[in-house]
Amino acid sequence: MHTTLDIVALDAQAVRASVELVARARPADMARPTPCADWTLHGLIAHMATQHYGFAAAAAGDGDLGSWRARRLGGDPVAAYRASADAVLGAFCADGILERELTLPEFTPVTAFPARQAISFHFIDYVVHSWDVAKALGADAEFGEDLLQAALRVARAVPEGEARLAPGAAFAPVVDCPGGSLLDQVVAILGRSPDWERPG
């Protein structure tokens, strides 16, 4: 993926945006539904934290699937999420990270990905998950145009087809989004309806 900004910097922007959005959540918000049909806001944040730790382990050369096991958020979900974000941001800032290959056993146990590609996977997840959190809170996810143009390129590279219909698929089939904003287009390509609104 070629962008005017380094993928590590783009990813950091997306992760920090997610931290700011999660920080708006109050205890009463944790049971709210999200655009991810299987998760309440609490479940979504727990998933996001788990993925941060999994990618951080991969960046450190750990290919153990156990590093991707579900994490509990404890009594302070916002603080727990912030700690997970700090872990992955630190891991992706390691010297020489873009020269490495990362094993992502939750994706596939047999293929190592160039770090730039692996971080792009993380990046697109946290653009979309920031949108998910924002929608659950009745807020907006705000990103600059450079980031959204990069996210659109990554989203368009995500394979389509029947794999998106499988149980537990990371992304649902593409949703039509005529005339939508850049962020609307990104989330629609990855199976979210830009028009999703929290109930009530």
SS (H, E, C) 6-67: CHHHHHHHHHHHHHHHHCCCCHHHCCCECCCCCCEHHHHHHHHHHHHHHHHHHHCCCCCHHH
pLDDT digits (tens, 9 = 90+) for 102-121: 999 888 777 899 999 999 99
Taking a C-beta distance cutoff of 8 angstroms, is the pair 171, 158 a contact?
yes
Q: What is the mean pLDDT of residues 28-33?
A: 96
* pLDDT confidence tier of residue 4, bands split at 50, 70 and 90: very low
The two structure tokens encoding residue 48: 């996001």
CA dist 7 and 10 (Å) reads 5
Domain boundaries, the chain: 7-143
Domain 7-143: give its CATH code. 1.20.120.450
